[in-house]
Amino acid sequence: MPEQKQLAINGQNHAISAPDDMPLLWVLRDILGLTGTKFGCGIAQCGACTVHVDGKPVRSCLLPVSAAIRRAVTTIEGIGATAVGARVQKAWLDLEVVQCGYCQSGQIMSAVALLSTTPRPDDSDINAAMAGNICRCGTYVRIREAIKRAASSEA
């Protein structure tokens, strides 16, 4: 039986039992029921599983849960509680970015991470920050517009 681990997810502490090398994604989805974070490729190539660890975007499909202990994890379920997250989600809704939706939690998490460090990103900043998030529905144009709208609506 693996020893208990303490995780801080969206500002709440959770004691979970999981092997050290279990990917954070499976802890979120299968143990904690936070299914907003998606599994796409499992090899850090699509971005669907993006969450924040200490504010930085990470691919949770490859990050072992042991690397998230004593760090602040934020998922799509909690990102709207931040000022930047709320602005990004509003811009996403206003511009109806989503098509099938599968990639969008990862897209939003990467966009929030970008705007948190670069409040007024230009196209090359957006390209660099979002390059690892794949959308099979091709919503890239609306994603870019929504990032710019969220940036321009900064309080």
Task: Give the residue from 1, 6, 8 showing the smallest Cα distance to 16.
Answer: 6
# of chain residues touching ligand FES (CB under 6 A) = 23
Alpha carbon distance 76, 70 (integer Å): 19
Establish if 47 lies at the interface with ligand FES (CB under 6 A).
yes
Establish if 48 lies at the interface with ligand FES (CB under 6 A).
yes
Alpha carbon distance 51, 110 (integer Å): 8
Bridge partner residues of 58 (DSSP): 51
Establish if 75 lies at the interface with ligand FES (CB under 6 A).
no
Residue with tokens 């499976």: 26
Window 116-135: contact mask with ligand FES (x via CB under 6 A): -------------------x
Residue with tokens 């529905």: 137
Q: Tokens at residue 104, please?
A: 């969008």
Establish if 64 lies at the interface with ligand FES (CB under 6 A).
no
Establish if 41 lies at the interface with ligand FES (CB under 6 A).
yes
Q: Tell me whether residue 107 or residue 120 sits nearer to ligand FES (CB atom).
A: 107
Task: Give the residue from 19, 63, 55, 60 showing the smallest Cα distance to 39.
Answer: 60
Q: Tell me whether residue 83 or residue 131 sits nearer to ligand FES (CB atom).
A: 131
Q: Which of 99, 118, 148, 149 binds ligand FES (CB under 6 A)?
A: 99
Establish if 40 lies at the interface with ligand FES (CB under 6 A).
yes
Distances (CA, A) of 117 to 20, 88, 100, 126, 154: 30, 14, 28, 12, 13
Q: Tell me whether residue 16 or residue 102 sits nearer to ligand FES (CB atom).
A: 102
Establish if 139 lies at the interface with ligand FES (CB under 6 A).
yes
Site for ligand FES, rule CB under 6 A: 39-42, 44-49, 59, 61, 98-104, 135-137, 139
